[in-house]
Amino acid sequence: MAHYYITTPIYYVNDAPHVGHAYCTVNADAMARWHRLIGDETKFLTGTDEHGQKVADAAQKNGVSPREWTDQTSRRFREAWDALNISYDDFIRTTEPRHYETVQKFLTAVYENGYIYKDVYQGLYCVSCEDYYTLESSDEGRCPIHGRELTQMQEENWFFRLSAFAEPLLQYYEDHPGFVTPETKRNEALSFIKGGLRDISITRTSISWGIPVPWDANHVFYVWYDALINYLTAIGYGRDDDETAQWWPTSHHLIGKEILRFHCVWWPAMCMAAGLDPVSHVQVHGWLLVGGQKLSKTMASEGNVKLTDIAPVVLTDEFGVDPIRYYLLRETSLGNDGDFSHEGITARYNTDLANNLGNLVARVTTIVATKCAGTGPAPEEASELRRPAESALSEAQAAWDRFAPNVALEATWGLIGATNAYLENTAPWKMEPGDALDAVMGNALEAIRLVTILASPAIPQVCATIWSRIGLEGSPTDEVFATSARWGRYRATQPIHKGEPLFPRIRANVE
RNA sequence: GGGGCCGUAGCUCAGUGGUUAGAGCAGGGGACUCAUAAUCCCUGGGUCGUGGGUUCGAUCCCCACCGGCCCUACCA
């Protein structure tokens, strides 16, 4: 059985969960659900990143210990993922003992392999950023963001010999063309490596809220250095070699474009330094940018809303869980930036979900209930819907397999459109009860059954509801995909029932 | 300042070194009435950011510029 391991970044607990986090997490969730659907042994990891100066500061400001602070904020992420029906298998917190153990084992391996050394870090410090710059990365000695004079600081640090990995990384990229997708992001990472790699400071003495360096008690690891290793913590690195071997290195990191360097340069180099193969695939996604005239008042009380101001729960409360999941997956292609707007969500909801899918289920269930004695007739082997169904199946399957949920959903909706058109052409509402009518309705029901299978990674709740409305037991995910996702398998075991509209239309601008 | 990505129909986005550049939505016309005023069919609309260059030929390759965005030692 194939193993499939997918991760999101671990989210920094200094920040409340927002739509950007949700975008990444929902995509990873849909991918995990897809792989479970096709029978892969699947592990989906998400979690929170809890070390570093900013967390310590935030805790102090709120008058609690870092531990209490991270407990509170980490919980908020879990609540957000519950609201979005995220099916993670493991939720890691970098403050857990298992993570300390793995980080120390991993970095000790890097140390013993000779890739960590002690030096004095000299840097230009910006008080406003609370951050360091090099002469090259500064604006001629001034902070490129604040424009103020940088002050010379120095600190004794342990360094990672990143510079030793330029050639091995280039070789790895050459040998693994699919390592970073999409290709534009791969090019970005490559040109960064070709531009020259500098050793990097990986420990701090100035703070204590971090993981202790095993061989030097005065230091804690720099937060990114501990954070990246979470992907190994969750699969037992240093604690259970068999488990690690099951999931690594054939794994998938889904990340945002702003952390490309850490995942596509530092992280593979770190793995090499520890004597481990790098992760096999990093899928980079773009950013959602807030567009549209204005977001509804429930989204924010003032104008000029930033995406990071919007809590996922606000959206699921207004539109429902599956519609938000659908929008996040369907609207933009993974890898490029996309547009996020209230109008956009409403449009997708009304056209794709209410008019196309919801209405299709409504019209079919009504006709079957009134003209087929309420039970679902069998489809025809040679139905004219069979061809569009089979092409939707193969296109959607291929798209899910290559991390393109938007294309998979587009293909799936193609079958919905074909089914609506099929009903127009055959006009079953004009037909008398009998075999001919039964055949038409059986074909339509079969198309709907296949749609619910293909769409279930994106909108699992609604698909399960439709599944039961068309008289099937269980849910679309209960069966073996290879045999259930084929034309002609529909057999109702329960009466068809219409039920309330799945997606009541949203009227024009609701204030 | 340095590195990188992007700029295609009213909107959101696909796409390709070569005959008439695509989809969805919105707009226009028609059909139908089973269905959530839903559905189906037909249809208008683009000097593919601007200016050069390479080429028999560029929206796609190169350069410059304009605009948006990301990174530049802890925000998806």
d(CA A136, CA A407): 42
Answer yes or no: are the C-beta atoms of A338 and A331 closer than 8 Å.
yes
Any idea which nucleotide's C1' is nearest the CA of A360?
A: B35
Reported as a pLDDT band with limits 50, 70 and 90, residue A426 is very high
pLDDT value of position A142 = 63
Token code pair at residue A480:
């073996």
Active site residue A281: no
Pick the catalytic residue from A24, A51, A143, A185: A143
Which residue matches tokens 């790098």?
A278
* Nearest alpha carbon to residue A391 among A376, A411, A374: A411
State how beta strands A180-181 and A203-204 pair. unpaired
Residue A126 pLDDT class (50, 70, 90 cuts) = low
Q: Which pLDDT band holds residue A146 (cuts at 50, 70, 90)?
A: low
For A341-438, strand residue ranges (E) read none
**Active-site position among A54, A176, A257, A294:** A294
In this prediction, residue A30 has a pLDDT band, given cuts at 50, 70 and 90, of very high
Is residue A143 annotated as part of the catalytic site, yes or no?
yes
Q: H helices of A218-284, where?
A: 223-228, 230-233, 241-247, 260-261, 267-273
Nucleotide nearest A15, CA–C1', reads: B75
Strand B: which positions are within 7 A of a protein CB? Answer: 1-6, 11-14, 24-26, 31-41, 68-76
Q: Could you tell me where the beta strands, DSSP code E, fall in A86-229?
A: 90-93, 116-126, 131-133, 151-160, 180-181, 200-201, 203-204, 212-213, 216-221
Q: What is the pLDDT of residues A393-413, one digit of tens each?
A: 999 999 999 899 999 999 999
Contact A303, A352 (CB under 8 A): no
| pLDDT for A297 | 42
Q: What's chain A's length in residues? A: 511
Given the residues A54, A129, A176, A498, select the one marked as catalytic.
Answer: A129
CB A125 within 8 A of CB A141: no
Please choose, from the candidates A278, A154, A274, the residue with its C-alpha nearest in 3D space to the C-alpha of residue A205. A154
Give the pLDDT confidence of A279-318 residue by residue, as tens digits.
Answer: 999 999 888 887 644 444 444 434 456 777 888 999 999 9
Q: Is the ipTM of this complex over 0.85?
A: yes
Decide if A492 contacts A472 (C-beta within 8 A). yes
Instruction: Say if residue A150's pLDDT is above 70.
Output: no
Contact A81, A88 (CB under 8 A): yes
Residue nearest to nucleotide B72 (CA to C1'): A137
Q: In b/e form, how buried is each residue of A50-80, taking b as 16+ CB within 10 angstroms?
A: bbbbbbbbbbeeeeeebeebbeebbebbbeb
For residue A134, pLDDT over 90 is answered with: no
Per-residue pLDDT of A435-454, as tens digits, reads: 999 999 999 999 999 999 99
Q: Which residue is nearest to nucleotide B33 (CA to C1')?
A: A429
Q: Report helix, strand or coil for A52.
A: coil
Distances A459 to A128, A321, A406, A445, A453 between C-alpha atoms, Å: 44, 8, 13, 19, 10
Q: Which CA-bearing residue is nearest the C1' of B34?
A: A429
Q: Is A372 a catalytic residue?
A: no
* CA dist., res. A294 & res. A120, Å (int): 51
pLDDT digits (tens, 9 = 90+) for A496-509: 999 999 999 997 64
Q: Tell me the percentage of chain A whose pLDDT exceeds 70.
A: 90
- Give A295 CA → B38 C1' in Å: 27
Tell me, letter by letter, the H, E, C secondary structure of A448-481.
Answer: HHHHHHHHCCCCHHHHHHHHHHCCCCCCCCCCCH
